[in-house]
A and B are shown apart, each in its own frame.
Chain A
Amino acid sequence: MLETLGNLGLGFSVALSPPILFYAFVGCLVGTLVGVLPGVGPLAGISLLLPATFGLDATRAIVMLAGIYYGAMYGGSTTSILMRIPGEAASVMTCIDGYAMARKGRGGAALAIAAVGSFVAGTVSVVGLMVLAPPLAAFALRFGPPEYVALLLLGLLVLAYMSSGSMVKSLAMAAFGLLLGMVGIDQMSGYFRFAYGVVELGDGLGVVPVAVGLFGVAEILATAGQPAPPSVIKPKLRELLPSRQEWRESAAPIGRGTVLGFLIGILPGSAHIISSFVSYAVEKRLSKHPEQFGQGAVAGVAGPESANNSATSGAMVPMLALGVPSGPIPAVMLAALMVHGVSPGPLLIQQQPALFWGFIASMYVGNVMLLILNLPLVGLFVNILRVPYPYLYPAILVFSILGVYAVNGSVVDVWIMVIMGVLGWLLRKLDFETAPIVLGVVLAPMIELSLRQSLAMSDGHYGIFVQRPISAVLLAVGLTLVLLNLYSFARRRSDWRTRIALAEKGEESP
């Protein structure tokens, strides 16, 4: 404990230095904007800003990118509450009761509860990250190639299982993502695979053009032709204070959302999205007045908003401790760290204590900044929503192209982004999840290399994956998930994932 506090002291000495404070502020500000703007999720925001971090050192870069991530979670609630448009996917559930509160004249209170819930969840979950990451990293030092194969496979299976809708479709997308990750030079034999003479494809498909295409461009393609957005409700500053009754009603959901969000965040998948859906369902189940949900229940805002913020810290645990991203956003952050010559993984905490603890401390500082940004300045952010979409989307498109081009200075990446944009748009139409594709692209080289190393270690015997206890347990968990899904299918029951998929389409509340 004393050692942790000492390390945290080191972290605060880094995080409170003026340059780090500045980059944390820029990250939080941009993140809030990203969250407020419909169509630009945290993934697209981080991908767009990635090239701008190339000139920074690793600590400043990761602090800024993390600021964008949790800033987007804060900002996403604003449009949900005031316009019934989720700024990003994790705020879908906040739309229901947040907007209902706004229509009753309690929009300011809903914003304040969302901001305070996000602050509490963000701060408490960083404690979880601080406590959990170092022992997990120490444990991960026992991992060899077979354990990594099992862990990465488990990650993809959990992602497919946690995705809303069909697991078969999600697994198909994971396989497709892994196939895309096979493009380029084979690391073991040097053969060119699926490069079609394009030299730039030798290094494989970059995660940034794939992610920006599948999420950013696809969103623009889907929304640009839609009718004009609804009008914005603009609360006054004095309306921001919730009543005593509202504070009382939000306390327990904030606590539950924080714990739930953190635990779900650690698991692979689009944790920030799933956690908000699960939290909403839990609050509705536990409520003495479930009939109020959908009519402006405070718990329906406090729980999901706390959960999605807490999940962002949870998602950092496997990324920092194991070097394994649990979803597309940590995957892009992992790529950012690797660009700066830092390899996240079990040795990161030992070898780069200033970076790791500085990052942790900056998350505390960032949460305070976000509380300040999101309450008094909410009117300012709301004004951005008044920019008509015909002007907004070309601007977002310019930033998308700019961000993708700047990574490698290559138009091939812009073409990849365009192709992925069309693909993402089509896949959304056909009810396919696109997050497994991004994760597949990132994990493919790791899985393939670890598999071949494992077989080299065992003289070609696949038994190595079940003879080693850690790998056997991980594979057993993965198999259990597949069986659970088969069981649910065989009984023709609509489980929680189906209900989430229906809720996303607005056909049923979970």
Chain B
Amino acid sequence: MSGVALALLAVAVLEECWRLRLPLGTLANPGPAYMPALLAAALLVSGVLIVALGRDAATLGAAGWAEWRHTAAILGACAFVAFALERLGYRLTMALACAFLLSVVERKGLVPTVLFAAGMAAGTHYLFDTVLRVQLPRGLFGF
């Protein structure tokens, strides 16, 4: 499975080089597509080798995916942060993301959720923005 995925990725890279019309150059004078094409070829060979050598390997299901619900929820929270950070501002975004993780994913009570989410958002903002002078986004509401 992983070997097939690597081989497909390699084909996609080669197709992308062709679509972008990146000059391949020559062996003596490589162009911008030379290294990507060379690496895609290496990836393709690796993928084929992994498929060929891994016939007795464990199946995808054997890897154990019990935590997938947690994983999906955490990824959802991360995606929300990436989307909302510059729209809602750092403090509001982080507070909402932490509240989601604690209340929805971890099923914690309202008080600990609010205290943690507000404390984390305000505390890290103070530490990084005020003390360490790392400028964090303010967003539509000014905070």
Contact = CB atoms under 8 A, between A and B. Distances in A.
B72 to A, nearest CB: 9
25 contacts: A51-B132, A55-B132, A172-B46, A179-B36, A179-B40, A192-B20, A226-B67, A397-B101, A398-B120, A401-B81, A402-B124, A406-B136, A411-B86, A414-B81, A414-B82, A415-B82, A421-B78, A422-B75, A430-B2, A430-B60, A447-B35, A448-B35, A460-B27, A460-B29, A462-B27
A405 B84 CA distance: 13
Contacts of B65: 429
A31 B73 CA distance: 29
A402 B39 contact: no
Contact of B53 (A168, A225, A415): A168
Contact of A402 (B31, B50, B78, B128): B128
B135 A414 contact: no
Given A52-B134, A172-B50, A411-B86, A217 B78 contact: yes
Contact of B2 (A54, A175, A182, A432): A432
Interface residues of A, number: 63
Interface string A206-229: 000000000001001111111000
A394 B101 contact: yes
Given A225-B66, A225-B69, A175 B124 contact: no
A196 to B, nearest CB: 9
Interface stretch (A81-89, A294-302, A327-335, A451-459): A451-459
Given A172-B46, A398-B94, A459 B120 contact: no
A54 B134 contact: yes
A193 interface: yes
Given A172-B6, A414-B82, A193 B50 contact: no
Interface stretch (A58-66, A94-102, A183-191, A230-238): A183-191
Contacts of A397: 74, 77-78, 97, 101
B122 to A, nearest CB: 12
B65 to A, nearest CB: 8
Interface size classification for chain B: 35 or more
A430 B133 contact: no
B134 A220 contact: no
A55 to B, nearest CB: 6
B136 to A, nearest CB: 8
B50 A182 contact: no
B28 interface: yes
A64 to B, nearest CB: 12
A489 B124 CA distance: 51
Interface in B35-85: 35-36, 39-40, 42-43, 46-47, 49-50, 53, 60, 63-71, 74-75, 77-79, 81-83, 85
B139 to A, nearest CB: 12
B86 A178 contact: no
Contact of B43 (A176, A394, A452): A176
A395 interface: yes
